[in-house]
Amino acid sequence: MTAIAPGTLPKSSQRGSAARARLLRGLLPALSLALVLMAIAWLNPRAISYFGFNLMLNLAIPIALATIAQMFVIAGNELDLSIGTFVGFVGCVTATWLRDAPLLGIFVLLGSIGVYALLGALIHLRNLPSIVVTLGMSFVWQGLAILILPKPGGKAPDWLLSIMSFKPPYIPFPILAALLIAAVVHFGLMRTSYGVILRGSGGNAAALRRAGWSLLKTKIVLFALTGLFGVLSGMALIGITTSADANIGNGYTLLSIAGVILGGGEFVGGRVSPIGAVLGALTLALAASPLLTFMHIPPDWQVAANGAILIIVLAARVLISRRER
């Protein structure tokens, strides 16, 4: 191989290595999930069971939904720093109004999706940086959440509790839910023609505009989808915890961004992967908590170890995408 000068490399082999890298990149989220699962199985074989997966993964469902929500804005080259507090806000609405006054609850939740759509329009029309707008909104959602639920409490509606504690035969519910989320979003965003337009608005906005597509509309749709999945995430979370807390979702902002990137997404260019994002969210959920708990790290080091695991997992992802370039 060394005898061949770089310029004379056959085209086909170049294409081949690019395809290999792309395959590797597509497989990476699944690989890292498998690695984390293997580590858990080795540390605590008891965890690899129907009961164990239910316990370890049920809190990964809301994380996966929040990650999908974040993925939509990232597909449009934006970032949502308010998704965490938005999930908390939705949680507070779910545990109070959605139970006591379902109509009001549904109205508020739909209204909040509308607010997201408006944010998309505002960001596009005024050409504002989304980081600034959503950072501001994060305080608004947090404030509203504390207004609705000044002290932790409330209770999830019974129908939601029974959905989230559903125990299907053979396959644990969280895995089934993850498959469903990944399949639905993958089909919608990767296999439909408007899905291509949505991703194109992040990939090459100028070309889309010249082709006559409304960028305002794509931005509104992307933000509304983020709002929709944020609502689903908040409701799923409350269905599991049974009760709400104004601060319940705060950690989701960074987790969701990390999940998208771990799942093979890029901050710019409309390159995202719904299946990867769901896998990334599951990996983060497993790496952060079960793995750490089973490793028996001294308490002083646990917080740092949690960060270290995240960095290792994300670093593997960065190494592979660099090879691709």
Partner 1 sequence: MKKLLVLSAFAAMLASGTALADTSGKKIAFSNNYAGNSWRQAMLDSYGIVTKKAVEDKIVAAADVFTTADKEVPTQAAQVQNLILQGYDAIVINAASPDALNGAIKQACDANIVVVSFDGIVTEPCAYRVVVDFKDMGKQEVEQMAKFQPKGGNLLEIRGLAGTSIDDAIHAGILEGVAAHPEFKIVGSVTGDWDQTTAQKAVATILPSLPDVVGIVDQGGDGYGAAQAFAAANKPRPTIIMGNRQDELKWWKEQKEKDGYKTWSASIAPGVSTLAFWVAQQVLDGRKDIPHDLLVPYLAFTQDDFEAALPKIKEGGVATHEYTQEEAIAAIKANIK
Q: Does 307 bind partner 1 (CB under 8 A)?
A: yes
Q: Is 140 in the site for partner 1 (CB under 8 A)?
A: no
Least Å from the CB of residue 84 to partner 1? 9
Strand partners, 244: 153
Using CB under 8 A as the binding rule, whether residue 306 contacts partner 1 is answered as: yes
- Using alpha carbons, select from 260, 273, 270 the residue that is nearest to residue 190: 273
Smallest Cα–Cα separation from 75: which of 228, 218, 230, 227? 218
Q: Which of 13, 152, 171, 184: binder of partner 1 (CB under 8 A)? A: 152
Q: How far is the CB of 313 from partner 1 (least distance, A)?
A: 14
Q: Do 223 and 117 meet the contact criterion of CB atoms below 8 Å apart?
A: yes
**Residue choice 37, 83, 200, 245 for contact with partner 1 (CB under 8 A):** 245
Cα angle vertex 21, ends 19, 23, to 5°?
Answer: 70
Rounded to 10 deg, the angle between the 274-288 and 299-324 helix axes is 160
Instruction: Kindly state whether residue 167 participates in binding partner 1, applying the rule CB under 8 A.
Output: no
Is 321 an interacting residue with respect to partner 1 (CB under 8 A)?
no
Distance of CA 256 to the CA centre of its chain: 4
C-alpha 318: how far from chain center:
18
**Residue (of 78, 134, 123, 120) closest to 266 by Cα position:** 78
Window of 49-57, 104-112, 186-194, 196-204 that interacts with partner 1 by CB under 8 A: 49-57
Binding of partner 1 by 204 (CB under 8 A): no
Q: Is 279 in the site for partner 1 (CB under 8 A)?
A: no
Nearest Cα to Cα of residue 240 among 4, 27, 60? 60
Q: Which is nearer to partner 1, 204 or 306 (CB)?
A: 306
Tell me which residue has tokens 């469903």.
Answer: 180
Does 248 bind partner 1 (CB under 8 A)? Our answer is: yes
Residue 299 lies near partner 1 (rule: CB under 8 A)? yes
Of 150, 162, 183, 194, the one binding partner 1 (CB under 8 A) is: 150
CB atoms within 10 A of CB 98: 24
Q: Where do contacts with partner 1 occur on this chain (CB under 8 A)? A: 44, 46-47, 52, 55-56, 58-59, 62-63, 145-146, 149-154, 237, 240-252, 285, 288-290, 293-294, 296, 299, 302-303, 306-307
